[in-house]
Structure 1
Amino acid sequence: MHRKVALISALALAAGSAALLPASGAQAHVRVRPEPAPAQKAAADSASERRQVLTYWTERRMEAAPPLDAPGPEAGAKKTMAEPAEGTPWTAPPSGASKNGVALQAARSSGTPWTNGGAVVKTTGRVFFTTQGRNASCSGSAVTSANKSVVLTAGHCVKMNGAFHTNWVFVPGYDNGKRPFGTWAATRLLTTPQWNAREDINFDIAAAVVAPLQGKTLVDVVGGQGVAFNQPRRQQMYAFGYPAAAPYDGSKLIHCSGRTFDDFAMSKDHGLTCNMTGGSSGGPWMLNFNESTGLGTQNSVNSFKYNFAPNWMFGPYFGNEAQAVYQTAQSTNAL
């Protein structure tokens, strides 16, 4: 693990920066081709496979799983970066928990333990998987969905270097080795076609569909945060995750909060002042977050940091491509 690069390496972006294009003007006479469908792969889609995956993830293996290594600059040299497509704003409210409560005025946080409780403690969790023969970790979030079985995370937390990860599980409410709400095995992994084809950092977005556990779906057990797409930029947001690189150790839920800004350098992402490190990748960014209830509306994920700006976290814009991943995931049978 390269400690200087907590998430996706800025070096991996540098070679592709020349491919950034200015926003084009209105083109009334140009036919817009439909976006390609999300890329997806079956995971542990049989009962026997799920038993093997759940048996594999012992407490010792989870504690030893490091944050996912950042891709090297060689991979970045092949990247071309596109701009997320923006469409009609769309929102689904949180589910599975009371939405009442008084929103508290939050002090800005750049990376402190979350101690207020609420739904976010249950819906946010650690993600564990095997990639290229070794174990690794990220973060993820349970969201409201038709199948009650969708986890949102980062693209590099389901696929990197040309291969989907295996042994993929979600542990909501992870707390210093404890798994109070169980371990949930993925039956299907999905990501944007842009991340699938060339690891375009603007589309570092993914979803997992997890199998029911003891006859109950994920949202039945932990609830689900709301989701929103094609929203205005530069809003107040909260970011959550389980950073596992120093000075953190992956044992506790950490949060950041503040007003987002537009990346001024090499991506089209949101930026947020945040000290979280590797392992927080895939953790949720939320709009309209209520500190009293712990409920909000997910609108991005922890994605990457620049080497020259370690106190800033960046997350992809949830546009049409992110919405397509979510819609495909929520319409997928969990078994």
Structure 2
Amino acid sequence: MLTVTLAPIGTADAQALRPKPAQRAAADTAAERRQVLTYWTESRMESAQPLNAPAPKAETAGEPERGAPFAREPQAARTPGEAWTGGGAVARTTGRIFFTTQAGRNSSCSGTAVTSANKSVVLTAGHCVKMSGAFHTNWVFVPGYDRGSRPFGTWAATRLLTTPQWNAREDINFDVAAAVVAPLDGRTLVDAVGGQGVAFNQPRRRQMYAFGYPALAPYDGSKLIYCSGRAFDDFVGTDDLGLTCNMTGGSSGGPWLLNFAEQTGLGTLNSVNSFKYSFAPNWMLGPYFGNEAQAVYQSAQTASAL
């Protein structure tokens, strides 16, 4: 398990400048959690449809200019999208997320158990907790999901949090969220599966590993997929990071890990799968983890899990 890495905030004034996350209670009573856990039968999980982020506003400007400098083009991926067979911590801490949207649709995303004060935090994408003006319901996290099995159980959220920018206007630059999940069988999430470290306000264009459970062709959501390569800056219209990656819908919210060790499966979470441009299906974009993402994490790790 990695120690949580936080960008230093040196003064009370700096603390006050942090934006306050938007949050909503989820299944915060024992009765509600029983109802949510009962709801998610194997057949409902298998039939859940991936949820994609809304098209970013940059899409309206069309494709990048043909004269864009080659130096700004993304580098080829070392691994563009293959099944993860290395085991280790990442196979336990990464999982599928299931929820019901405002329209009554059962959907899926991906997420990660991270080290935290309450040992109960899952980090994911903003659209995996709220979209079209409403927080999702029946929200659960299934770490280590593998071909329909739930080796570490199903964890119901008691609280959902996202950035104020995503909450107010679904700003794709701030597509970040957290969930606080209740203990299961007397154990916290991190006690049961471990947790990845988290870092904020880090240098850009670093080597990354991205993980998730893509569920649209050529994938089916049954197993953990990964990509690896050097991140690039989105030069089309957002402040996001990019990675050459073939993962599809359902991978949203899956972790981007710095300093990832294939031998142990441990790394430091520094972004999440967010969206793709229609003209660049082999790029995955993820939000930069700055002060807003840090505020979401800080609020989540100090919240009660019950």
Q: Which residue of 1 aligns with 2:97?
A: 127
Question: Letter of the aligned partner of 2:211 in structure 1?
Answer: F
- TM-score, scaled to structure 1: 0.80
Q: Which residue of 1 aligns with 2:290?
A: 319
Partner Cα separation in structure 2 for residue 230 and residue 73 of structure 1: 23
Judged with a 3 Å threshold, the aligned counterparts in structure 2 of structure 1 residues 32 and 217 are, in CA distance, closer, same or farther, namely closer
Shift of 1:72: 6.4
Shift of 1:266: 1.2
Cα-to-partner distance string for 1:276-308 (whole Å, 9 max, x where unaligned): 000000000000000000000000000000001
Residue 267 of structure 1 pairs with residue 238 of structure 2: yes
Partner Cα separation in structure 1 for residue 240 and residue 166 of structure 2: 14
5+ residue gaps, structure 2 = 1-13, 61-76
Q: Which residue of 2 aligns with 1:102?
A: none
Match of 1:53, SS?
Answer: helix
Q: Which residue of 2 aligns with 1:110?
A: 80
Two-structure CA RMSD over aligned residues (Å): 1.8
Shift of 1:34: 2.3
Match of 2:17, SS?
Answer: coil
Residue pair 2:52, 2:250 contacting (<8 A) in 1 also? no
Percent of matched pairs sharing the same residue: 80
- Counterpart selection for 2:23 from 40, 44, 47: 40
Partner Cα separation in structure 2 for residue 314 and residue 329 of structure 1: 24
Q: In the TM superposition, what are the counterparts of 1:65-144 in structure 2 within 5 Å?
A: 65-71=48-54, 108-131=78-101, 132-144=103-115
Question: Letter of the aligned partner of 2:195 in structure 1?
Answer: G
Match of 1:44, SS?
Answer: coil
Partner Cα separation in structure 1 for residue 250 and residue 276 of structure 2: 12
Partner Cα separation in structure 2 for residue 72 and residue 240 of structure 1: 21
Question: Letter of the aligned partner of 2:219 in structure 1?
Answer: Y
Partner Cα separation in structure 1 for residue 292 and residue 175 of structure 2: 10
Partner Cα separation in structure 2 for residue 323 and residue 285 of structure 1: 15
Shift of 1:108: 1.3
Judged with a 3 Å threshold, the aligned counterparts in structure 2 of structure 1 residues 71 and 323 are, in CA distance, closer, same or farther, namely same
Partner Cα separation in structure 1 for residue 293 and residue 26 of structure 2: 20
Match of 1:60, SS?
Answer: helix
Match of 1:168, SS?
Answer: strand
Judged with a 3 Å threshold, the aligned counterparts in structure 2 of structure 1 residues 305 and 292 are, in CA distance, closer, same or farther, namely same
Cα-to-partner distance string for 1:233-291 (whole Å, 9 max, x where unaligned): 00000000000011100000000000000001011011000000000000000000000
Judged with a 3 Å threshold, the aligned counterparts in structure 2 of structure 1 residues 72 and 303 are, in CA distance, closer, same or farther, namely closer
Count of residue pairs brought into register by the alignment: 275
- TM-score, scaled to structure 2: 0.87
Partner Cα separation in structure 1 for residue 248 and residue 287 of structure 2: 17
- Counterpart selection for 2:182 from 198, 211, 221: 211
Match of 1:229, SS?
Answer: coil
Q: Which residue of 1 aligns with 2:273?
A: 302
Residue 242 of structure 1 pairs with residue 213 of structure 2: yes
Cα-to-partner distance string for 1:150-201 (whole Å, 9 max, x where unaligned): 0000000000000000000000000010000000000000000000000000
